[in-house]
């Protein structure tokens, strides 16, 4: 056999993908309610590139494993200006993407067949990121509390810790439940990690997109020093510029372990030096666009969420942050069936809950950054399918 056992044996398209390809080939107009690419979602900010990207004249190349100091200072400014806390730019390491950041951290922490604990439900890419590093993903649960908010189930988390476990991954706020980690949860996680000699990996790409109301503020993991903690973020969500390819890892932890982790991560990053020099030159001039870009995205999210609330009776307060909404299905239909029916009958794309590891097959997920008119048409079709008796 030529190929690594890290890769799945079969990469052929599934029934959903085949149906979609057939529809496209037949010229069908597809309504995509999972739209997650901000550069093609009809935002005004995306019609012209921010000026710094057009003006970069970076002919000089100075390779640096951590990333250029000026770019790291700009990231430090992001945390300070948004009141998340103070970071030292020497505790930051730049990467080309958050996915690359995960791959570096897994190279740093794991040997083949080690385990990492990932949340369920959550971001579907974790299984693949782990598989490509020869690591086994093991799941801990997020569950809804009495008020419907998703919280970490610490009992299931502790039960899953084994001798092979090397790290706990948290997504803050989680994709797609939109739930933030509270300060108490962070403290508990850090103590748990310290007690079991595990690292904490916190993905904060959606941190700024909050829906917490005036009284609460998102809590970032950057200030946590109890355990070896890696906080990840990047331009793909913060500035909605996924094409720019700039992300980072903030490294924090007690005593010598932090310095050792930094030294080793630098060694890994130095092997690839994958971050584009021109983008690093432009970084400090791009952060000032944050306010305008996020305002436009948050306005879209609010408009779509109000429509969802009106059409489907959804409670918007349950979404604490992020770009996604969960829609519960009637008992008579599974998520998989619903997605296939909608595609076949109405050329409408929604994500099935199982894609994100929801245990019950009774939810679908839609993206709230979908262009408003597409979203409105798609939700009306969805309502007609789910509740034909109530549809207009
Ligand atoms: C939780 C989470 N982390 C990371 C990413 C991807 O980040 P990047 O484009 O920087 O690899 C996504 C993309 O949707 C995500 O949902």
In a domain, 83, yes or no: yes
* Domain's final residue, options 287, 314, 346: 287
Q: In a mutational test of the pocket of ligand 1, which residue from 34, 96, 98, 202 has the highest number of ligand atoms less than 8 Å from its CB?
A: 98
The answer to the question of residue 179 being in a domain is yes
Average pLDDT over residues 257-281: 96
Q: Which of 205, 208, 238, 242 to mutate to test the pocket of ligand 1 (most atoms within 8 A of CB)?
A: 205
- Give helix then strand counts, H and E, for the chain: 13, 13
For helices 98-109 and 255-272, give the axis angle rounded to 10 degrees. 120
The answer as to whether 51 is a domain residue is: no
Domain with residue 210: its CATH number is 3.40.640.10
Query: Could you tell which of 38, 128, 175 is best to mutate to test the pocket of ligand 1, judged by most ligand atoms within 8 Å of the CB?
Result: 175
At 139, is the pLDDT very low, low, confident or very high (cuts 50, 70, 90)?
very high
* Domain co-membership, 276 together with 300: no
Residue-level pLDDT at 274: 96
User: Got the DSSP string for 46-82?
Assistant: GGS--HHHHH---------SS--HHHHHHHHHHHHHT
Same domain? For 283 and 297 the reply is no
Would the CB of 171 count as within 6 Å of ligand 1? yes
Which parts of 229-319 are beta strand (E)? 229-234, 247-252
Query: 256 and 278 share a domain?
Result: yes
Q: How confident is the model at residue 60 (pLDDT cuts 50, 70, 90)?
A: confident
Q: Is the domain of 207 the same as that of 335?
A: no
Q: What is the pLDDT of residues 168-178, one digit of tens each?
A: 999 999 999 99
Residue 234, ligand 1, Cβ within 6 A:
yes
For ligand 1, whether the C-beta of 175 sits within 6 Å is yes
Residue 174 Cβ < 6 Å to ligand 1: no
Are 278 and 334 within one domain? no
**Residue 9 is assigned to a structural domain of this protein:** no
Ligand 1 atom nearest to 245, measured from its CA: 10
Give the DSSP H/E element, type plus range, for residue 37: none
State which residues form the domain around 67. 60-287
CA–CA distances in Å: residue 110 to residues 164, 263, 279, 320: 9, 16, 30, 32
Per residue in 197-217, pLDDT (tens digit) is 999 999 999 999 999 988 789
Distance (Å) from CA 205 to ligand 1 centroid: 7
- Interval 359-380: pLDDT, tens: 999 999 999 999 999 999 999 9
Residues sharing a CB contact under 8 Å with residue 200, sequence separation 6 or more, in sequence order? 167, 168, 170, 189, 190, 193, 221, 224, 227, 228, 229, 230
Which of the listed residues 245, 265, 287 is the one where a domain comes to its end?
A: 287
Report the chain's C-alpha Rg in angstroms.
21
pLDDT recorded at residue 381 = 97
What is the tens place of the pLDDT at every residue in 270-285? 999 999 999 999 999 9
- Report the percentage of the chain scoring pLDDT > 90: 89
213: in domain: yes
Are 243 and 304 found together in one domain? Answer: no
Ligand 1 centroid from CA 27, angstroms: 31
Residues 78 and 181 in one domain: yes
- Do 136 and 102 lie in a common domain? yes
Q: Is 177 found in the same domain as 163?
A: yes
- Tell me if 55 is assigned to some domain: no
Q: Is the CB of 98 under 6 A from ligand 1?
A: yes
Domain count, the chain: 2
Q: How does the average pLDDT of the chain come out, rounded?
A: 94
Residue 392 confidence (pLDDT): 58
**CB 118 near ligand 1, within 6 Å:** no
Same domain, 172 and 23: no
Residue 102 C-alpha to ligand 1 middle, in angstroms? 10
In this prediction, residues 344-360 reach a mean pLDDT of 96
Residue 3: exposure state from Cβ atoms within 10 A (0-12, 13-18, ≥19):
exposed
Ligand 1 centroid to residue 202 C-alpha, Å: 12
Ligand 1 nearest atom to the CA of residue 122, by list position:
1
Residues 182 and 148 placed together within one structural domain of the fold: yes
Q: Measure the CA–CA gap between 152 and 38, rounded to whole angstroms.
A: 29
The 10s digit of each residue's pLDDT in 182-200 is: 999 999 999 999 999 999 9
Asked whether 293 and 239 are in contact (CB, 8 A), the reply is: yes
| Domain of residue 368, CATH code | 3.90.1150.10
Q: In whole angstroms, what is the distance from residue 381 CA to residue 258 CA?
A: 52
Mutate which of 237, 238, 369 for ligand 1 pocket (most atoms within 8 A of beta carbon): 237
My answer on whether 263 and 361 are in the same domain is no
Helices 290-312, 372-386: crossing angle, 10 deg rounding? 20
């Amino acid at each position: 056999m030529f190929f690594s056992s890290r890769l799945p044996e079969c990469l052929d398209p599934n029934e959903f993908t085949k149906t979609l390809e057939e529809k496209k080939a037949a010229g069908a107009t597809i309504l995509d309610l999972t739209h997650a690419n901000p550069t093609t979602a009809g935002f005004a900010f995306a019609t012209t590139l921010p000026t710094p990207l057009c003006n970069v004249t970076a002919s000089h190349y100075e390779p640096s494993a951590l990333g250029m100091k000026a770019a790291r200072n700009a990231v430090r400014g992001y945390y300070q200006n948004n009141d998340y806390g103070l970071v030292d730019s020497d505790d930051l390491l730049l990467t080309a993407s958050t996915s690359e950041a995960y791959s570096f951290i897994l190279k740093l922490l794991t040997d083949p067949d080690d385990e990492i604990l990932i949340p369920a439900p959550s971001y579907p890419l974790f299984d693949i990121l782990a598989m490509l590093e020869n690591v086994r993903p093991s799941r801990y649960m997020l569950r809804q509390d009495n008020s419907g908010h998703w919280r970490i189930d610490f009992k299931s988390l502790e039960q899953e810790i084994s001798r092979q476990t090397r790290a706990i991954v948290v997504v803050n706020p989680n994709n797609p439940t939109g739930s933030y980690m509270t300060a108490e949860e962070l403290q508990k996680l850090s103590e748990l990690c310290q007690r079991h000699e595990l690292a904490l990996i916190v993905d904060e790409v959606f941190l700024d997109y909050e829906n917490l109301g005036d009284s609460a503020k998102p809590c970032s993991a950057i200030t946590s020093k109890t355990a070896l903690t890696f906080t990840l973020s990047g331009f793909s969500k913060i500035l909605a510029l996924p094409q720019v390819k700039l992300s980072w890892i903030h490294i924090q932890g007690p005593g010598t372990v932090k310095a050792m982790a930094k030294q080793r991560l630098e060694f890994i990053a130095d092997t690839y030096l994958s971050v584009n020099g021109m983008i690093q030159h432009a970084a400090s001039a791009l952060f000032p666009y944050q306010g305008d870009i996020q305002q436009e995205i948050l306005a879209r999210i609010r408009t779509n969420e109000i429509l969802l609330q009106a059409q489907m009776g959804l409670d918007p307060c349950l979404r604490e942050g992020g770009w996604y909404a969960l829609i519960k299905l009637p008992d008579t239909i599974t998520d998989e069936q619903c997605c296939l029916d909608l595609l076949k009958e109405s050329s409408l794309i929604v994500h099935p809950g199982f894609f994100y590891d929801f245990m019950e097959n009774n939810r679908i997920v839609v993206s709230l950054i979908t262009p408003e008119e597409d979203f409105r048409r798609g939700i009306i079709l969805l309502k007609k399918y789910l509740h034909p008796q109530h549809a207009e």
